[in-house]
Amino acid sequence: MGRQRPETPTLEEVAALAGVGRGTVSRVINNAAGVRESTRRAVQRAITELGYVPNLAARSLAGRRADAVALVMTETDWRMVGEPFFTEIVRAVGDALADMPATPVQLLLTLVRTDAERRRFVEYARGGRVDGVLMMSVHAEDPLPDMLAEAGLPTVMLGRRSGEESVTYVDADNTGGARGAVAYLLERGRSVVATITGPLDMYVAECRLRGYREALERAGVEVRSSLVVEGDFTQESGRRAMTGLIERHPELDAVFAASDSMAAGALTALLAAGRRVPQDVAVIGFDDFLLAEHTEPRLTTVRQPVEEIGRAMVRLLLEEMEDSAAAWRHVILRTELVVRDSA
């Protein structure tokens, strides 16, 4: 018999006594899958000891879900939506949701670019139409993640707005990946190494530029601002940047582009200028999407673990949906240099 208490015990008290989160207690009460047997027994012991009686009406209300997750793209430039990065992430997230053993969850794609669209989306999400939000392509000053957090909506970002990010996110080791790529070029005798960055109001682009600079500094090579050109992650921006670099620095013998699309654009510009790759100029990209296998020559690049990123984003979001009191978490996944023909 559980000990009697003068007041009605709460779900939070059961969770505290069992040493688990509130969401775990809910899963045990609802006999959901995915709970360890030892954890299930600990929760059941706490329920018995406290004399907790589940509120069936509250459980019914709490279980009223939309079974839908929004994947929000905050990119203001429509061209970016067609870039390989976006399509690969959408596929990875969709696959991760499809692999869920429990109730199927619908993935809703939406583009949010203006203050009015931000307000409308927050009201839409608060109205119970989605259970959680995944975000991608977030720029430094975007307030939407904070608006969602203030509204109590479970949110997980791909990447982060700054090094002080307070919202849950999943990211790749952008600095380490870029540093390793540029170090590889230097170790193979390249001496004038340029970089084509992404838009520098995005932390991902800042990190890849930092990795470039760190590799040069560690090798005792001067960091020259004229060898750094900002792109926007598109192929056309890579072509334009590479054309300008060749004109200013005909002695250039390597370039690190912060995306595969920009690296492909750089290859086009080098071909047009009569430069051989990699004999005259070595080229390395970042992403390792299908595009890298089909450039001429095939692209050496830094691989992001896209499938793992998608799974991690979905896992963290589902955990936040189950336990609204869960603390934000930051996950950074390793990258890998994939050597092909261009460097």
Mean pLDDT of the region 254-269: 97
Handedness of CA 184, 188, 192, 196 (dihedral sign): negative
pLDDT band at 342 (very low <50, low <70, confident <90, very high): very high
Q: What is the pLDDT of residues 200-227, one digit of tens each?
A: 999 999 999 999 999 999 999 999 999 9
Res 43: pLDDT: 86
Question: Could you give the residue range(s) of every CATH 3.40.50.2300 domain in the chain?
Answer: 68-172+306-333, 174-303
Query: Which residues, listed in sequence order, are joined to residue 330 by a DSSP beta bridge?
Result: 169
Helix, strand or coil, per DSSP, at residue 296: coil
More confident call, 262 vs 25: 262
Res 96: pLDDT: 87
pLDDT band at 193 (very low <50, low <70, confident <90, very high): very high
State whether CATH 3.20.20.450 applies to domain 11-62: no
Mean pLDDT of the region 271-288: 96
Question: Could you give the residue range(s) of every CATH 1.10.260.40 domain in the chain?
Answer: 11-62
Architecture of domain 174-303: 3-Layer(aba) Sandwich (3.40)
In terms of Cβ atoms closer than 10 Å to its own Cβ (0-12, 13-18, 19+), residue 127 is: exposed
CATH number of 68-172+306-333: 3.40.50.2300
**Average pLDDT taken over every residue of the chain:** 87
Please calculate the CA angle 43-46-48 and round it to the nearest 5 degrees. 110
How far apart are alpha carbons 112 and 122 in whole angstroms? 10
* Position 51 pLDDT exceeds 80: no
Does the reported pTM lie above 0.95? no
Res 4: pLDDT: 38
Handedness of CA 305, 259, 134, 176 (dihedral sign): positive
